[in-house]
Amino acid sequence: MTITLDDVNKVAKLASLKINAEEAAHYLENLQGILKLANQMETVATESIQAVAHCFDVPQCLRSDEVTETNQRDRLQQLTEQVQSGLYCVPPVIE
């Protein structure tokens, strides 16, 4: 698979990126290098390598799933006046 300068410009347009010709050429070079590396990795002989399900063959020591904290919502909401129906009222961020 090859990538052309036109492909780079199409992707930039889809991503709403404004790039000049110099940047497009730079991205093209980087993408071609990535594809070259991927193609090189495909040629590596992996038939004799056994698949690994997990890198550690040791059972995990997991803690029990228990609630250790108490619900402090009501106490914390008493610290502010900007609460309505159990929710914090904050100013709008996006207009």
Q: Give the residue among 11, 7, 8, 3 at the shortest CA–CA distance from 36.
A: 3
- The pTM is what? 0.50
Under the banding of pLDDT at 50, 70 and 90, the label for residue 87 is very high
Query: Would the pLDDT of 55 be above 70?
Result: no
E strand map for 1-95: 83-84, 87-88
Most confident of 21-25, 52-56, 57-61: 21-25
CATH annotation of 5-43: 1.10.20
Q: How far apart are CA 95 and CA 88, in angstroms?
A: 19
Q: What percent of the chain has pLDDT over 90?
A: 65
CA 87 to centroid of chain Cα atoms: 29
